[in-house]
Amino acid sequence: MNIIKTDIDDVLIIEPRVFKDERGYFFESFSQREFNEKVGNVNFCQDNESMSSYGVMRGLHFQRPPYSQSKLVRCVKGEVLDVAVDIRKGSPTYGKHVAVKLTEDNHRQFFIPRGFAHGFSVLSDVAVFQYKCDNFYHPEADGGISIIDDSLGIDWNIPTDKTILSEKDTKHDLLKDFDSPFDYNVDLYK
């Protein structure tokens, strides 16, 4: 796998080695050994999948400590714009984001460490999105910041009149009103 660094430390784009021939293609979508060597010792315990149609925007979600999660995400059908926002108090990149297009053709994956809010918008007619988490889902630890917060400067590549949000995602605080449970100076993996 090829690791591509982004403007925010530890938020990484991962490109697998894809082997193509007349039959199609093959690639190793995940290797715990190689992930540990190249990214870090993160042990994933839960896989999730969602299917969404064009214009759907999900996020910006996280789980509060002690149930915080790292995620390794990919789009296996269609195309999404995937975004990670730094919400660690005291971080030099607090409130900044990294956005990457994940498609069924580029096979890219995106690693979002703990202390980041995560969301995506669907750019194709349909998208099937998969993600690994390193902590189990705990509904009582659900958190979020507004996916439509203009101060974040995210271009979701969806016209406003075409966006589809869940009721829950319309109720999250703007970043300026948000009290983050994450601290940049605390090791979130302990």
CA pair distance 5, 75, nearest whole angstrom = 19
State yes or no: is 189 an active-site residue.
Answer: no
pLDDT in tens, the chain (190 residues): 899 999 999 999 999 999 999 999 999 899 999 999 999 999 999 999 999 999 999 999 999 999 999 999 999 999 999 999 999 999 999 999 999 999 999 999 999 999 999 999 999 999 999 999 999 999 999 999 999 999 999 999 999 999 999 999 999 999 999 999 999 999 888 7
17 CB neighbour count, 10 Å cutoff = 10
State yes or no: is 137 an active-site residue.
Answer: no
CA pair distance 98, 7, nearest whole angstrom = 7
Burial of 122 (C-beta count, 10 Å sphere; 0-12/13-18/19+): buried
Q: What is the pTM assigned to this prediction? A: 0.95
CA pair distance 90, 18, nearest whole angstrom = 39
Read off the DSSP letter of residue 109. Answer: E
Structural domains of the chain in order of their starting residue, each with its CATH number: 43-181 (2.60.120.10)
pLDDT of 143 reads 96
97, 107, 118, 131: which one is catalytic? 131
pLDDT of 26 reads 92
pLDDT of 8 reads 97
61, 107, 118, 172: which one is catalytic? 61
State whether residue 73 is helix, strand or coil.
Answer: strand
